[in-house]
Amino acid sequence: MRLNLDKLYGKVRARAPLRLGLAGGGTDVSPYSDEFGGYVLNATIDKYAYATLSYSNNGVEFVAADIEARWQGPASSAIDAGKKLELHAGVYNRIVREFLDGKPIPVSLVTHSEAPPGSGLGSSSTMVVAMVQAFVEYLALPLGEYDIAKLAYEIERVDLNLAGGKQDQYAAAFGGFNFMEFYHDRVIVNPLRIKTDHRAELESSLVLFYTGVSRESANIIKEQTNNVVGRNDQAMAALQAVKAEAQKMKEAILQGDFENLAASLRSSWEAKKKMASTISNSGIDIIYNAAIESGAVAGKVSGAGGGGFMMFLVDPAKRPDVIRALNNFNGQVMTAVFVEQGAHSWRVI
Task: Report the share of the chain in percent with pLDDT over 70.
Answer: 97
Residues 189 and 204 in one domain: no
How many domains is the chain built from?
2
What is d(CA 330, CA 346) in angstroms, rounded to the nearest whole number?
Answer: 38
pLDDT at 4: 55
Closest CA to 220 of 305, 312, 334, 133: 305
Residues 295 and 267 in one domain: yes
pLDDT at 120: 76
Residues 224 and 257 in one domain: yes
Residues 68 and 184 in one domain: yes
pLDDT at 220: 85
What is d(CA 248, CA 124) in angstroms, rounded to the nearest whole number?
Answer: 28
168 annotated active-site: yes
Residues 225 and 314 in one domain: yes
User: Residue 3 corresponds to which amino acid?
Assistant: L
CA dihedral (236, 239, 245, 246) positive or negative: negative
Residues 156 and 299 in one domain: no
Q: What is the pLDDT of residues 56-88, one digit of tens each?
A: 999 999 999 999 999 999 999 999 999 999 999
Domain of 212, CATH number, reads: 3.30.70.890
Q: What is the pLDDT of residues 250-271, one digit of tens each?
A: 999 999 999 999 999 999 999 9
Question: Predicted confidence band at 122 (pLDDT cuts at 50, 70, 90)?
Answer: confident
- List % helix, strand, coil for the chain (3-state, nearest 5): 45, 25, 30
Residues 58 and 182 in one domain: yes
Selected catalytic residue, list 6, 66, 80, 168: 168
Task: Answer yes or no: is pLDDT of 285 > 60.
Answer: yes
Expressed as residue numbers, the domain containing 185 is 5-193+340-347
Domain of 12, CATH number, reads: 3.30.230.10
Q: Cβ distance 145 to 173 under 8 Å?
A: yes
| Torsion (CA) 237, 23, 254, 171 in degrees, nearest 10 | -130
Q: Cβ distance 171 to 44 under 8 Å?
A: yes
Question: Is-above-0.85 flag for pTM?
Answer: yes
Residues 312 and 210 in one domain: yes
Residues 124 and 270 in one domain: no
Task: Answer yes or no: is pLDDT of 5 > 60.
Answer: no
Question: Predicted confidence band at 2 (pLDDT cuts at 50, 70, 90)?
Answer: low
Task: Answer yes or no: is pLDDT of 221 > 70.
Answer: yes
Distance of CA 243 to the CA centre of its chain: 18
Task: Answer yes or no: is pLDDT of 91 > 60.
Answer: yes
Q: What is the pLDDT of residues 335-348, one digit of tens each?
A: 889 999 999 999 99
Residues 174 and 276 in one domain: no
Residues 201 and 175 in one domain: no
Residues 180 and 247 in one domain: no
The CA R_g of the chain, rounded to the nearest whole Å, is 20
